[in-house]
Each structure stands twice: as C-alpha cells, then as structure tokens.
Structure 1
Amino acid sequence: MKLTTTTTLALLASTVCGFYVPQVARSQLLPPNPPLHLTRRADEPASDEVWNRAKCYGGNFVKVFPMSDADAGQGYSPKRDSAQSRWKGDLKEDLKKWGWTENKLQKSVCEFDEFALGKGWVDAAKQLNIGTEGWKDIWCYRFSHGTVWDVAGEKKYKADDKDHPYTGAYGQFGVNAKDGVILAMDNLMPSSAIKKNKQRDPLPGEVPALQSLSDLLWGGWYRGSQPETSTNSDVKNLKYLISVSVTNAESLSIIQRALKAKDKTTVSYWPGDSFDLTTAEGQALLGSANGRRWGYLLTQRKNDIGIKKIDGVTVFRGKEHSNPIMIFYVK
C-alpha cells in the first residue's frame, strides 16, 4: 500500500490504538492483531500487549459514545464532518455490487433454545425478556463473499468497472427487532479471510469497499426480524448486543484476564460475571475482537439510532463445556 500524507496521518493516529480511521481504510491502517502467540492459549489470561490494546480501543469507544456525530467525526485523521458510515438502508444493492450473497439458511441454523445454547442462555433470555424462537422472534442472516472454491479458483466479480477477487468472507447473525437484540454468531471478514485463505496480508484493491461486520449487522438490523413482509419499524430500539459462542482466541484470553480481577479462572453459568464500562475489564472486553463490532455499530450509526452507549457487559456460559456468551447492554 502506497502511503500518502493523508494516509500516513491516519496510520500515525491508529497506531496509538485509536479507531478513528476512515471506514474504507480501516482494515489496512489499524494496527494488526497481535500474533497468536501473544494472545496465549484461550484458557490463559491475555498478555499485556493484547490487554492494553483492547483496553485502549474500549476506552476510546466509551469516550465517543456520548458525542454527537459531528464531534465524533473530528476524531478521525484527517478530521471529518461526520463519523457516519457511508452505507445506508438495507444494503441490498451495495452488498450485491461488492460481491456479497445472502445465503438461505436451514431452520436448524437459527435455533436459540436450551439444546443449542444451554439452560444458562434460556435463563438469561427469560430474565431479559428476549424471545428466542428462530424465524419468528429471531431472523437469521448470512452474507458470504464467495466461497473458498471461488478464492482458490481466483474467481472475480465486477464493481466500479473493475474486477475484484472474492475473499471467502462471511457474516452470520440473528436479529430480534421487537426485543431490541442482535446476536452475532459466526463471522470472518474480508481482510481476515484473505489472511486465512491465502496465508498473506490483503493486496491493494483486494478487499471490497463494503467490508465491515458492523455494516453487515446494520443491514440486517434495518431489515428486522420479519424481512419478507416488513422492515424494522424502530431501529432505535436497540437494547442488547450479544456475541454468541465466543471462539476468538484474543477475546477468550481477555475474558480470562477480566475474570482474574474477580479471583475467578472459569466462566460461570448465568448470571455470570458483569463488568461496568468504567472499569479496565469492561473496556478491554468492549475492545476485544468480539466487542469492537458493537462499538463501531453505535459509533457509526448515531444518525440512525441516536446517541447510545454500552454501559456494561456480562460474560457467562450457557451449558457445560460451551463457549462463552457476551451480552453488551445498550442505553
């Protein structure tokens, strides 16, 4: 990537760990995720490098949440009049243009019952008044950017009169518009997909312009949980942002270090362990790979959903030997 004066300034800003980088350049300019050896094993607390980076990200989100869109935009380098994402509405045409396909999912994929996630999850959903029936309360979306075979065969799609490669990325999540819930399930975004599928960093022009999970999440949230008959009638009704079955090694190590502050070594069943966003632990969880998606969503959608903040996060386990669930509370 050739760095101009403008992108150099953005790079300098981002290396401090801040997230105020223009959307189209973010994946290229943000400091890279630490090597896996720095995250340690998933059952060990995060290293200082991983922890401090996540805490810095989370702290920046906390600072920007109460700001107006215009003030948030001033944090970019170079400064912008707005922090708002360029992608609007249901994203259907934009997704199609940039090589994304909406996949039809089997009914079993959208199960959020005790068999799928455990009694702990069912208890949490009941206490928070979250409906959990798939394809009724919750509609499940999956967007894919080609397949691994498309990547292997170097298949292309055309956008803005140029050929672009598929990356093998995908994003899968559920939306419960009535109860104000988005549930992130299984995701691999374009830059990470290229690193995984091609064992190298992305080349210039290789990542689609529409590339962020936070934007995909917005597209699904805008469509709502009955997209075949209507759109979401109240996009401001956002209460719970949930990362289901966390498997990311970085996030798991941050969870372990956060639990250490409570003299714990394992994730508990519901009601689990809660962390305020004024604490280092809460900010690190928000700044983790499984938390940043939500921070970007609230930061870049102020003109759509209003000025909202995340003021707490709960980490818990739904059933024995299951991966942790993280619930971020929106106010």
Structure 2
Amino acid sequence: MRVITIIILRVLTILQGVVGHQPATEEEWWYSVCRGERLDQAMLWPSTQADAYLQPINSPWDGNMYRELAQWGYTESERSQMCDFDAFWGLDKAFEGIRMDPRSTQRQGPNKCFHVGHGDPHKTRPDGSHWQLSEQTYVAPGGRVNRVTGAFSTIGVNPISGMVFFISRKSAFEAAKALWGQNSPHEDELPALRATSDFAWAFWNREVRFSTITAIWSICVTNQITLSILEVAMKTYLPPPGQQRANGFQVWPGTDFEMHTIEAQAILGTPNGIGAGFFLAQHKHQLGGNKMIYKITVFKAFQPVTEDDSINLIFWVKDSGFINGRADVGVVGKNIFEKSKVVKRSADGRNFVREHTIIGV
C-alpha cells in the first residue's frame, strides 16, 4: 500500500471562544476541515473524477419527488411565514444589501417555503382519536413496514434570484432516537429518502425552470457543532490586507471566508454546510455542469420572534473552472486521514501552531 502526502497545512489555531458558544476541539475542527475539503473537491471535478471524494456522486433522487416523498412516509404542509425573511427572521439588511425581495409568496413575494415531515402529526384514527407519531407506521417501497421517525425539513426557494434556503431540520436519525427512545436506530429502519439536500433538490425542481443557482443559505444556525466551528473560524481567519480581524460575529455584511482558506473548508464541513455541498456535487448534470462554492458569508441578525441574535450563513455559488482553477485541486484516494503535531506553542499554552498532513491511502 502506497502512502501519499497530499498537503501540509500550517494553521495558527486559537481554541478560545467568546461567551455563548463552546469552541470546537482540535478533533472536531480538523474533522470538519477534512470533510469540507472533500466536498469542495467533489464540487470542482466532473463526476468521473469526483467520485473519489464523494459516493454516490450522483444522487439516486431526482425530479419533483411528490410520489417518492409519499411512498417513504412523508407529509407535506404549508409554512409560508417561514419564508418572510424580514418580518420573521430579521434579515432585512442582508436582503437589501443584495437587492432581493425578502417577502414570502403569501405576501406576494418570490420566496416559497416547503415543509416536509416524516409522519403526520395531525393524523387521526378511524374512531377520531389522535394517532401519535410514535405509533404511526408506513409501508416502504419493497413492502417493509417501518415506523415514522418524526424527522422534518423546512426549505425555501427563490426562483428569481436562484437561491435555496435551509431553514430548519431534524434528521431522521436524531428524530428516531428521540421518538423511539433508541440510542442508535438501524439504517434499515430509516427512510432511504432522508437527506436535506435531496428534499431541497425536489423543491428546487418544482419552482425553478431557467434560473441558475447563485447561493444557498443556512438560516438561524442552532447546531452546536456548527457554532463551535464558527467560533474557531472567527478567531483564526486572516483578514484582507489593511483590515483587522472582526471581534466576533458581525451584522450584515458580516465576514467573508474565501473557499481556499482552511476556515471556509471547516465551515463547509459542518452539519449546516454539507447540505449545500451535496446539493451541488450530486446534481452536476441537472445544474448544467460543475458548480462550486467560492465564498461563505457569516453574519448575525436580530431575530424578532425570539428577540435574540441569530447566526446565518450564505454559500455563494458559481460555475467551476477546475481546469484553469485553483492550484489546490489534487488527487486523493477514497480513504483519507491526517496526522498532526504541535510545532510551536505560546507561553500560556493556549495558542499554538499545529502541522497537519492529510494522507491518502
């Protein structure tokens, strides 16, 4: 077996976050960087090469998926107010900044919301009594009777601006753990159709005819792993020449992370980033070629409903120029891991330089 050193990454890592969120551990940080780097490469390369970074490289799900969602036990419902990005989410300044209408279709705006849940929380029995989610089942394709998980996703689409909004979700695995009281539900017990990126692709197909995808948003981030990664990214990124590093999360226009940076790779690899990567990497043919995330914007906004600040992400998209593109496009095997060592540490022990070697086998 041949071991190839792909790239050595030297990063000044400061693992001390601001009050409110626990910063990521070293293991969490580099796991997210590695996952983000693989997704980045999967977006850049055509499918024949990209499957070295992501499998399956082509999603098995396509079209509007009305039939497939019903077959796998999902119920769709109305959530129009969730796409009122000004009144509900307090994102007025961001939408003004990019000259986009923040209103939902319910208010005659361009932003349409979709909500899909696994099971039906309003289902009743023949006698009229409420049918609890924990007792509901469905017959999956193939004839197996499975329990519903209670998973859900709320996703918005703006067909005019070519944008997708990941608004809220609970994965089938986590939802089943809570609903069934099981620590580790078996994969066979979960619906085969369960990825947020696949739901987003269905809803995109229902609304978009000619638009090009321009950005994917993650609204009001609450995932603790993502927040912990963002804490470290805000402490370690190198600002443009002549600028100072921002002191914590900023209001619009926020902080931009160019995709060639370690911080951007880490953010892409978070639970709130991978859906954007999968959406682009697994639908190359339908999107008209390779699409890549070239920049990530992180900003905070005052959320009127909760009367608190929310953290939001925008993954900006453009056509990939992988042939004449970035010099960091490399060739790695399907299995990848990394070795690291501390090469320099400050006197107080909190700041250090760690050398990471990503290795393909």
Q: Distance in 2 between matches of 1:140 and 1:249?
A: 25
Does the 8 A contact of 1:173 with 1:183 survive in 2?
Answer: yes
TM-score w.r.t. the length of structure 2 is 0.72
Q: Distance in 2 between matches of 1:48 and 1:57?
A: 14
In 2 relative to 1, CA 166–73 (structure 1 residues): closer, same or farther, beyond 3 Å?
Answer: same
Query: 2:293 corresponds to which residue?
Result: 310
In 2 relative to 1, CA 314–40 (structure 1 residues): closer, same or farther, beyond 3 Å?
Answer: closer
Q: CA deviation at 1:281?
A: 0.5
Q: CA deviation at 1:69?
A: 1.5
3-state secondary structure, aligned to 2:309: coil
Query: What does 1:1-331 align with in structure 2 at a 5 Å threshold?
Result: 43-75=21-53, 83-105=57-79, 107-113=80-86, 115-118=87-90, 121-135=91-105, 136-147=109-120, 150-197=132-179, 198-224=181-207, 232-234=208-210, 237-262=212-237, 263-264=245-246, 266-305=248-287, 306-319=289-302, 321-331=308-318
Q: Distance in 1 between matches of 2:18 and 2:144?
A: 41
Query: 1:27 corresponds to which residue?
Result: none
| Identity fraction in percent | 29
Dislocated runs of 4+, deviation >3 Å: 39-42, 74-77, 147-151, 262-265
Gaps of 5+ in 1: 1-38, 225-231
Structure 2 letter corresponding to 1:155: T
- For the pair shown, which has the larger CA radius of gyration, 1 or 2? 2
Larger RCO (alpha carbons 8 Å, 6+ apart): 2
TM-score w.r.t. the length of structure 1 is 0.78
Does the 8 A contact of 1:123 with 1:270 survive in 2?
Answer: yes
Does the 8 A contact of 1:246 with 1:323 survive in 2?
Answer: yes
Q: Distance in 2 between matches of 1:314 and 1:151?
A: 38
Structure that is richer in strand per residue: 2
Gaps of 5+ in 2: 1-16, 122-130, 238-244, 319-361
Structure that is richer in helix per residue: 1
Does the 8 A contact of 1:42 with 1:250 survive in 2?
Answer: no
Does the 8 A contact of 2:134 with 2:148 survive in 1?
Answer: no
3-state secondary structure, aligned to 1:205: helix
Does the 8 A contact of 1:44 with 1:257 survive in 2?
Answer: no
Structure 1 letter corresponding to 2:138: K
